[in-house]
Each structure stands twice: as structure tokens, then as C-alpha cells.
Amino acid sequence: MPWRLLPVPIGVGMLAHAVRWAAISMASANVATGAFVACIVVSVIVTPVADRLHLPFAAVGFSAVVSMMPGFFLFHAASGLVELVSIGPRAPAVLLTSVAVNGATAFLVILAMTLGLILPRMLYEHFLPGPE
């Protein structure tokens, strides 16, 4: 991707974060739903732009939403797993619950981001096929 087009994913990423924030704070959505809505918006905007400018959709789309990756939940789940292994059978049940919740949240956010980016792109290609 040419350097001169770098403002495209930056601007779309800023809009995505605004949409995610609005979904979470104003609509009381959870983290995964907020990421899903934001990624749908990104995909709807980036798909025609990437096609028009002959840019790779994955590069532009993912670079706009990469900062929404659930690092907080992944690190807490990994930390809990290490602690769980080091404590062994005497580990408290709350630790296992914490690992499961953080891991499930991270998984759901990544799944929501994947579906949010891919579904509009697939629908666009299905209903508006390009020249063949």
C-alpha cells in the first residue's frame, strides 16, 4: 500500500473506535458487540474504497481495526492459566472462572471482528460482482 494512502485506514479506524465507543457506552452493548458493529462499519466503508483504489482489502480493513484486538483479555487469561498451573489442584475456583471468562471474551471479540469484516465484503462481492 502506498504511503500516501495511509490516511485511509487511519481515518476509518478513528471512525471505527467512535462507533465502538458509542455502541458500548450509549447503547449498553458488550465489548464483542461493539467490535462487531465497528467492524461492519469499517468493512462497508473499506470494501468499495479498496476496490476502487486497487488496494488489498485485508491490509486496509485489518489495519483499521487491529487496535481493537482484545489484548487485555488475552493477557489476563494467559496470566491466569500460568497461575493456575503453578498453584495446581489447590487453585481457587474463582481463578478458573476468571480464566474462562477472559478467554471466552477474547474469543468472542475476535470472532465478532472476523465476521464483522468478512460478511459485508462477501455480500458486496455476491451482489455487486466486478468485471470478469
- For residue 132, being part of any structural domain is answered with no
Q: How many domains does the chain have?
A: 1
Q: What confidence score (pLDDT) does residue 24 get?
A: 96
Residues 57-113 have pLDDT tens digits of 998 999 999 999 999 999 999 999 999 999 999 999 999 999 999 999 999 999 999
Nearest to 102 by CA among 124, 62, 73: 73
Helices 71-87 and 93-127, packing angle to 10 deg: 150
pTM: 0.89
Structural domain of residue 20, as residue ranges? 3-127
Q: What confidence score (pLDDT) does residue 130 get?
A: 63
In one letter, which amino acid is 16? A
Q: Is 88 left (phi over 0), alpha (psi -120 to 50) or beta?
A: left
- For residue 68, being part of any structural domain is answered with yes
Residues 22-63 have pLDDT tens digits of 999 999 999 999 999 999 999 999 999 999 988 899 989 999
